[in-house]
Structure 1
Amino acid sequence: MLPKRTLSIAPMLDWTDRHYRYMARQITQNTWLYTEMINAGAIIHGDPNRFLLKDECENPVALQLGGSEPEQLAQAAAKVAQFGYDEINLNCGCPSPRVQKGAFGACLMNEVALVADCLNAMQAAAPDCAITIKHRIGLDKQTEYQPLADFVGELAQRTNCRTFIVHARNAWLDGLSPKENRDIPPLRYDFVYQLKQDFPHLEIIINGGIKTNHEIAEHLQHVDGVMVGREAYHNPMLMQSWDTQFYGSTQPEISHAQLIERLHQYATAQLATHRGTILRHMARHYLGLMHGLHGARAWRRILSDADLLKPNNPDLLWQAWAEVQRECE
């Protein structure tokens, strides 16, 4: 039985790859993990192993698809299901110009009928996977709640989608970069709370600007789940207490030393496959692991040093950890 989506890690381009997800799963057993957004066409026409390969330990794990053609999304969803993903999520929140040019992402919020067709096609192609959607609260400088409620309500009527992940900011399709779109449009958590009140039968998950466990607990008073993005990347040990605090687990929390041991074993195994993976591909995700500790700077310095990384020796993790311990004494 899969855990509830009480907590999840947001899909983040160039960040939530399989190496990051493996690390995250060692820290928390119950939190849902999401891939980077992957274009449906890349899955259909590209190397499936490149885009879909994952470690079995990652589950529960969701793959986020980008696209706006129902037939293409269906083909991609069928392939995704074969790789054992628990959920396939449709991106209706990305505001980047490149995504807009492909007529998908946040601009799909203006085409609810097409979104419904996409979700239905994905569900038909992957009947054993949960099909979900991630979207914004609105577009550009729209300030009314009702268009958001209409969007969610129509999808709830026309599809079997019951999980809505809502980034509590508008997406400005013109005038802001993707980075600015993550910070400048104001957060309206009250809109997401209102969605849960208006659609109590739907699973409503809130996303956007959430940084602490206290904030998570506050949001969970109003919605079904919380999706954390950048903070879970830059400070991964934020997740250390999630299983006990939010899932009621009685298992002991993983220590830094235990985590480094597992990451060392993982890096050793990955390098031994000789599939082109290098230590830097993994170590770049580990830079924030010592956040808040005295040796954090030394840890980051060692694991970002190109000369030290070049030999692809996983023992570099132990070297960096020894430096952290020395500075913490």
Structure 2
Amino acid sequence: MTGASNPSSGTRADTYAASLRLSVAPMMDWTDVHCRQFHRLLAPGARLYTEMVHAKAVIHGDRTRLLALTPEQAPLALQLGGSEPAALAQATHIAADHGFDEVNLNCGCPSDRVQAGRFGACLMREPALVAECVAAMSAASDVPVTVKCRLGVDDDADYDVFADFVDGVVAAGAAMVVVHARNAWLQGLSPKENRDIPPLRYDWAYRLKRERPGLPVVINGGIATREAALAQLDHVDGVMLGRAAYHDPYVLHALDAALSGGPLQPRADLLRALRPYVEARMADGVALKHIVRHVLGLFHGQPGGRLFRQVLSEGAHRPGADWQLVEQALSATEHAGARSAA
């Protein structure tokens, strides 16, 4: 899983552009390299994002681990955290050399740790600094720089302030904005509560797109079904799935198939397509549990889905666990489904 040069071929650029319609959100502790490999099998046309990585970690840390990717995961974006233009620029240059197709600046995370580091959602209160960061990142490479933001912070309720923030980052060089269509509360709510409690206001994202038709706008937040996602595409350029893609990953596959016109694949076939990757990573010393934790929701809402999760959850951490455990989980699920249908 080494970095690759960033191809400038029309094919890759065209694939990146087409992936605007569907993407999977950067999610801490979830969208690691193993998760993304699974999501790529589910959604060949989607744009994938890494977990957020701080710019200084990219510069000084273990890049083999932090920037792990495979060629199949393209189009792939690296999400950076930080607020120092020089560090973000250096990290963007490294990302471009490593093979990423986009670098995204996090202006939406509300956690205390992020606030203490002066990045994430609190940056929406410093639009001039964000513009300076984006300008430095854009000058550092030819890879598109994008911004993921909220509508505002705490009780901000002025659309014009939000729109001015977006205009500032676009003027500085941002090629696209991803709008998590709710405010971020920096005090009084946990990161988990920040994903549910502040009310969604999709209309702000819709208005942004109407008033700036040339700006690519992707919407995120509270989108849990294929139908809801497709409805969003009547108003904006793209939809970004978050927790739905993780907890019920077949939704991601169904949406990708709807957008591409391709057939729906059986869940078991999609999972078995992951076998070569699993066995190659295990040969490198990766434990099965680190990979299959990302597939537990594949049979969400299906007969036998609970049994599928149980077999994998209880067995994957045991010494010697290998692909045969996955086959056992699939077999148990198939039998449970057959009994349910009888």
TM over 0.5: yes
Residue of structure 2 equivalent to 1:150: 164
Distance 1:194 1:302, change over 3 A: same
Residue of structure 1 equivalent to 2:40: 25
- Secondary structure at the residue paired with 1:109? helix
From 12, 15, 27, the equivalent of 2:27 is 12
Residue of structure 1 equivalent to 2:4: none
Give the distance between the partners of 1:238 and 1:309, measured in 2 at CA.
30
Give the distance between the partners of 1:294 and 1:16, measured in 2 at CA.
27
Q: Report the identity percentage.
A: 48
Asked whether the equivalents of residues 315 and 325 of structure 2 are also in contact (C-alpha less than 8 Å), the reply is no
- Secondary structure at the residue paired with 2:310? helix
Distance 1:88 1:320, change over 3 A: same
Residue of structure 1 equivalent to 2:91: 76
Question: Runs (4+) of structure 1 moved beyond 4 Å?
Answer: none
- Secondary structure at the residue paired with 2:34? helix
User: Would you say 1:262 and 2:282 are equivalent positions?
Assistant: no
TM (norm. structure 1) is 0.95
- Secondary structure at the residue paired with 1:152? helix
Give the distance between the partners of 2:321 and 2:287, measured in 1 at CA.
6
Residue of structure 1 equivalent to 2:111: 96
Map 1:42-53 onto structure 2 (within 5 A). Answer: 42-53=57-68
Which residues of structure 1 form unaligned runs of 5+?
A: none
Give the distance between the partners of 2:154 and 2:65, measured in 1 at CA.
35
Map 1:154-173 onto structure 2 (within 5 A). Answer: 154-157=168-171, 159-173=172-186
Map 1:79-158 onto structure 2 (within 5 A). Answer: 79-127=94-142, 129-157=143-171
Give the distance between the partners of 1:308 and 1:101, measured in 2 at CA.
35
Note the aligned Cα RMSD (angstroms): 1.3
Asked whether the equivalents of residues 315 and 321 of structure 2 are also in contact (C-alpha less than 8 Å), the reply is no
Residue of structure 2 equivalent to 1:318: 327
Give the distance between the partners of 2:275 and 2:316, measured in 1 at CA.
19
TM (norm. structure 2) is 0.92
- Secondary structure at the residue paired with 1:290? coil
Map 1:177-326 onto structure 2 (within 5 A). Answer: 177-247=190-260, 249=261, 251-274=262-285, 277-305=286-314, 309-326=318-335
Aligned residues: 323
Offset, 1:169: 0.6
Offset, 1:260: 2.5
Residue of structure 1 equivalent to 2:53: 38
- Secondary structure at the residue paired with 2:273? helix
Q: Deviation digits for residues 97-117 of structure 1, max 9, x if unmatched?
A: 100111010111111111111
Offset, 1:309: 3.6
- Secondary structure at the residue paired with 1:170? coil
Asked whether the equivalents of residues 22 and 256 of structure 2 are also in contact (C-alpha less than 8 Å), the reply is no
Offset, 1:306: 5.0
Distance 1:312 1:114, change over 3 A: same
User: 292-301 or 252-261: which moved more?
Assistant: 252-261
Give the distance between the partners of 1:121 and 1:40, measured in 2 at CA.
13
